[in-house]
Amino acid sequence: MKGLFITGTDTGIGKTLITGLLAGYYHRQGWRIITQKWVQTGCTEQSEDIAGHYALGNFAAGEEIDRLVNPYCFPLPASPHLAAEQAGCTVDPEVITRAYGELAARYDLVLVEGAGGALTPLTRTLLTADLVTQLGLPTLLVAGNKLGCINHTLLTIAALRYRGIHLLGVVFNRLAEATHEQAILEDNPRVVAELGGVPVLGEMPFLADLRDGEQYIGAIAEAVVRETDNYAGASFLDS
């Protein structure tokens, strides 16, 4: 297995943070790692966006690699299908598939971050999860730990299972400093694990400085490896 898809319960809940930190951790373990985002919206210059988007985890350089890492980049901060239409373009899944295949041939592991949630449309007829299914990518789900996340997380789990996508587990990310909602934040992972029947692979605390995440990502990264080893009995590094 050469790829892992990282999706979320919504936009802005920490997919980029977790993707970058995981990439950084595996890179420090000596793996040849690359991150990829099939469609990036809300950007004006692809190269500038890539440099900022994956500052924690992208270790490649050069125009060719940038093209593979981010096949599509549109200025409108919207769903990929609409952002593409506003730019006079249509997202072609074959372009994405070829880019992913080229990266998978060059690197030990491709960490693919989705745009928005699992059912975000890439085109008017193709959802992100549909392409994940076609590529056979196991998936990690990032859930923003807040009031209401149980519903969003369980719905996403159900949608992934319906499409036959193998869900390795859920990582919770605290989006703000906990105050009176502490009991809720502690209960959310337990309920999702019980009702969703999925492993909770860890929780990222609220980070005032994103660089502090490196001290917490190790346990999550190792949990991802364990679940991956259980998936078809193969390790990330097995070809």
pLDDT confidence of residue 71? 95
- Mean pLDDT of residues grouped by 10 in the chain (239 residues)? 92 92 92 93 59 45 79 95 97 98 94 96 98 97 95 98 97 80 92 97 90 92 92 51
pLDDT confidence of residue 66? 80
CATH code, 15: 3.40.50.300
Q: Would residue 222 count as lying in a domain?
A: yes
Question: The domain containing residue 151 runs over which residues?
Answer: 3-229
Nearest to 148 by CA among 9, 17, 15, 18: 9
Contact 113, 20 (CB under 8 A): no
Note if 37 is an active site residue.
yes
Q: Would residue 145 count as lying in a domain?
A: yes
pLDDT confidence of residue 52? 38
Select which of 2, 15, 37, 146 is catalytic: 37
Q: Would residue 236 count as lying in a domain?
A: no
| 13/207 Cα distance (integer angstroms) | 13
Q: Would residue 106 count as lying in a domain?
A: yes
Helices (H), the chain: 15-28, 46-53, 63-69, 80-86, 93-106, 128-135, 149-162, 182-196, 214-230
Q: Would residue 162 count as lying in a domain?
A: yes
Rounded to two decimals, the pTM is 0.90
pLDDT confidence of residue 198? 97
pLDDT confidence of residue 33? 92
* Domain tally, the chain: 1
